[in-house]
Amino acid sequence: MILKRELRRRAHQIVGPLLGMALTGYFAYNLVAGDRGLLAWMRLSRQLAAEQTTLAQERAERVALDLKVANLRPEHIDPDLLDERARAVLNLVAPDEIVVMRPRPAP
């Protein structure tokens, strides 16, 4: 009887700290490897940096296209660009020109 009481008293003394360590371990694991943990945050940071680089490239391409479109407006036509586009669309070449064929980039 005394042995049972002693075991029960010691079990009560051990359960609290064990439960605290288990909870601490659970929260520590989720802090590092959880869905919103440090590893996920680092992965999202890398992905965000890559997407920002892509966005910067797309913006630069858009600025170049906007400039090209602005040069083709009727109010301000760039003669060189008009000549280039006319030759490309009509597939014309002057008799004294040399044509260098390049493959078209894939869309």
Name the residue among 65, 62, 59 with its Cα closest to residue 81. 65
Model pLDDT for residues 23-32, shown as the tens digit of each residue: 999 999 999 9
Which of 26-35, 65-74, 97-106 ranks highest by mean pLDDT?
A: 26-35
If pLDDT is split at 50, 70 and 90, which confidence band does 99 have?
confident
Q: What is the pLDDT of residue 60?
A: 97
Q: Which residues are CB-neighbours of 82 under 8 A, at least 6 positions away?
A: 72
Which of 30-44, 47-61, 89-103 ranks highest by mean pLDDT?
A: 47-61
Measured CA to CA, the distance from residue 34 to residue 12 in angstroms comes to 31
Measured CA to CA, the distance from residue 93 to residue 99 in angstroms comes to 8
pTM of the predicted structure, to 2 decimals: 0.54
Measured CA to CA, the distance from residue 2 to residue 4 in angstroms comes to 5
Whether residue 50 is predicted with pLDDT greater than 80 in this model: the reply is yes
Q: What is the pLDDT of residue 77?
A: 77
